[in-house]
Amino acid sequence: MDSLISTFHLDVKLLIAQIINFAIVFAVLYFFALKPLFRVMADRTATVEKGLEDAKKIEQRLVQAETERNEIITAAKKEAAAVMEKTAKEAALRRDELIAQTKEEIGAIINTEKEKMRAEKASTLKEIKAEVADLVALSLEKLLDKKLTGKDDAEMIKKIVKDVK
Amino acid sequence: MKETNSEIIEKPAAAEGTQLPAGEGNIKTESTLFAEPLFHVGGLKVTNSLANSWLVVIIVLILSIAIKRSIKAVPRGLQNAFEMIVEGFLGLFDSVTGSRAKSMKYFPLVFSFFIFILLSNWMGLLPGVGSIGQVVAEGREKVFVPYFRGGTADLNTTLALAIIGVVASHVFGVMALGAWHYLNKFINFKAFLEIPKKIRQDPTVLVVNPIKAFVGLIEIIGEVAKVASLSFRLFGNIFAGEVLLASMSALLAFGVPIPFMFLEVIVGIVQALIFSMLILSYLTMNTSAEEH
């Protein structure tokens, strides 16, 4: 043991000095480099894991939103179809109503026109009759002026007119 | 590094010729097994190896502060490199400890060993270390004393590291297993206390348990051997490397030492790795329950 110490110049003080050196290295590395680094690395791992989880959640939400959207679209389509159908029905009903109303109005117009025409015809006939009677009377007067008296004349005219009729 | 060595070998001759009378002032430049003292501070003999270790401490301090300042959630530059090293080591440690939690627990200590030893080994290879120094009179002889010598090329340093490592492994062992259980690994009281209980069922305990106790005593010797093997392995490798480089540069200062320089760079990493991994395996062994 003594030869070992003398050969290698072992010295307790030097040994302690080197132990202190190593302790300093350990403390400095631990507190300045490793401890903060491990904290940062752990934080980063946590952040990345959270990010991945969030991404998964977002994807799930996206899928959910997609299905929801599709559902909403189909519902809206259905509703729109129903509304369209209802509108079409109403429109048809309304058209029929309008047509019927128009028909009625046209009928009424035609009737009044017919009435008017009938009245006009009647009045025209009356006038024509009167004129024909006058004409006949005039022509008869001219033909029979001297042979017939007033009384016979009138009776004759009446008879002729009846026959004409 | 050793390019300058040739000058140093020449220097004594020049000095001899000009200043000193022949035969009296031969300056010795041999590689000593021990670190030479530079000066004294109080009772402490400051050796060139101790000075080199202080340099290592300063480098670690500067690097650590630089890392602390640059630490951000998004790594960049120095932090990136450091994180890569740390991650690599954690992977390596996992293969020894078997669990990430254990690796994280021992990481600061074991990594400190690695950094301290690696820097000390490499500092010994720097140009000027071992070749720039002063000439000191030692009795009738004049001896060349370099200002710096690789920290791990001194048994005091490696012994200190080995003692810290082995003691730490025992401290962690006591913390993990409890004092009584841990004590029985070495001085096996349990083996003797068991004999009266088990002797009726199995008389062989009379033979087996004293053997178990003896095995425990062997473990104590094993612990001393651990310190010896750790310290001498590191010291021997690094010191041999320095001697090798010195001899190579003595042969031819230019070119020849270069392959050996690369070799020593690798040896520096390998020895630092071996030392730290051994400490890690001692830590793992001592904190896991006895199985035999």
Q: What value does the mean pLDDT of chain A take?
A: 89
Judged by average pLDDT, the poorest of A143-152, B136-145, B165-174 is: A143-152
Going by pLDDT thresholds of 50, 70 and 90, the confidence category of residue B22 is very low
Question: If you search the block for the tokens 């009677």, which residue do you land on?
Answer: A133
| pLDDT at residue A147, as a whole number | 57
| pLDDT at residue A150, as a whole number | 67
B40, containing H or E segment: strand B37-41
| pLDDT at residue A148, as a whole number | 60
Going by pLDDT thresholds of 50, 70 and 90, the confidence category of residue B8 is very low
Alpha-carbon gap, residue B2 to B132, rounded angstroms: 10
| pLDDT at residue B19, as a whole number | 41
Of B251, B1, B40, the residue nearest B121 (C-alpha):
B1
- Could you say which of A11, A14, A29 has the minimum Cβ distance to residue B64? A29
Residue B141: strand pairing partners: B138
| pLDDT at residue B3, as a whole number | 42
Name the CA dihedral angle for B277, B279, B282, B286, rounded to a multiple of 10 degrees: -130
Across B80-104, average pLDDT:
91
| pLDDT at residue A27, as a whole number | 94
Please count the other Cβ atoms lying within 10 Å of the Cβ belonging to residue A13.
Answer: 14
pLDDT above 90 covers a percentage of chain B that reads: 39
ipTM exceeding 0.90, yes/no: no
Nearest CA in chain A to B107: A34
Residue B133: strand pairing partners: B146
| pLDDT at residue B23, as a whole number | 45
| pLDDT at residue A13, as a whole number | 87
Secondary structure letter of residue B243 according to DSSP? H
Name every chain B residue with its beta carbon within 8 A of the beta carbon of A36: 68, 71
Residue B11 has pLDDT above 60, yes or no: no
pLDDT digits (tens, 9 = 90+) for A133-161: 888 888 877 876 655 666 777 777 788 88
| pLDDT at residue A145, as a whole number | 62
Name every chain B residue with its beta carbon within 8 A of the beta carbon of A24: 57, 60-61
| pLDDT at residue B15, as a whole number | 39
Q: What value does the mean pLDDT of chain B take?
A: 84
What does the block give as tokens for A20? 């202190």
Helices (H) and strands (E) in chain B, counts: 9, 5
Domains of chain B: which residue ranges?
2-287
- Could you say which of A7, A28, A35 has the minimum Cβ distance to residue B61? A28
Residue B24 has pLDDT above 60, yes or no: no
Q: Starting at the earlier edge strand, list the strands of the sheet with B27-28.
A: B27-28, B141-146, B133-138
| pLDDT at residue A146, as a whole number | 57
Regarding predicted confidence, which is higher, B4 or A48?
A48
Q: Is the dihedral of CA B25, B29, B35, B40 positive or negative?
A: positive
Secondary structure letter of residue B89 according to DSSP? H
**Residues B50, A17: C-beta atoms closer than 8 Å:** yes
Going by pLDDT thresholds of 50, 70 and 90, the confidence category of residue B290 is low
Q: Is residue B279 within 8 Å of residue B110, measured between CB atoms?
A: yes
**Residues B156, A11: C-beta atoms closer than 8 Å:** yes
Task: Count CB pairs under 8 A between chains A and B.
Answer: 116
| pLDDT at residue A20, as a whole number | 92
**Residues B160, A18: C-beta atoms closer than 8 Å:** yes
The set of long-range contacts for B36-42, using a CB threshold of 8 Å and a minimum separation of 24, is B36/B136, B36/B143, B36/B145, B36/B146, B36/B149, B38/B145, B38/B147
Across B96-104, average pLDDT:
90
Across B217-244, average pLDDT:
92
pLDDT above 70 covers a percentage of chain B that reads: 89
**Residues A33, B56: C-beta atoms closer than 8 Å:** no
Residue B255 has pLDDT above 90, yes or no: no
| pLDDT at residue B158, as a whole number | 93
**Residues A17, B61: C-beta atoms closer than 8 Å:** no
| pLDDT at residue A137, as a whole number | 81
Q: Is the dihedral of CA A137, A143, A148, A149 positive or negative?
A: positive
Residue B4 has pLDDT above 60, yes or no: no
- Taking the alpha carbons at both ends of chain B, their separation in whole angstroms is 51
Question: Is some CB atom of chain A closer than 8 A to the CB atom of B159?
Answer: yes
Regarding predicted confidence, which is higher, A113 or B11?
A113
Of B40, B44, B54, B115, the residue nearest B82 (C-alpha):
B115
Domains of chain A: which residue ranges?
2-164
Please count the other Cβ atoms lying within 10 Å of the Cβ belonging to residue A147.
Answer: 8
Judged by average pLDDT, the poorest of A21-30, A102-111, B47-56, B73-82 is: B73-82
Regarding predicted confidence, which is higher, B2 or B106?
B106
- Which residues neighbour B188 within 8 Å (Cβ) at sequence distance 6 or greater? B209, B212, B213, B215, B216
Alpha-carbon gap, residue B249 to B246, rounded angstroms: 5
pLDDT above 90 covers a percentage of chain A that reads: 59
Across B59-73, average pLDDT:
88
Alpha-carbon gap, residue A47 to A41, rounded angstroms: 10
Regarding predicted confidence, which is higher, B59 or A165?
B59
- Give one DSSP letter per residue of B117-153, joined into a string: HHHHHHHTTSTTTTTSEEEEEETTEEEEEES---GGG
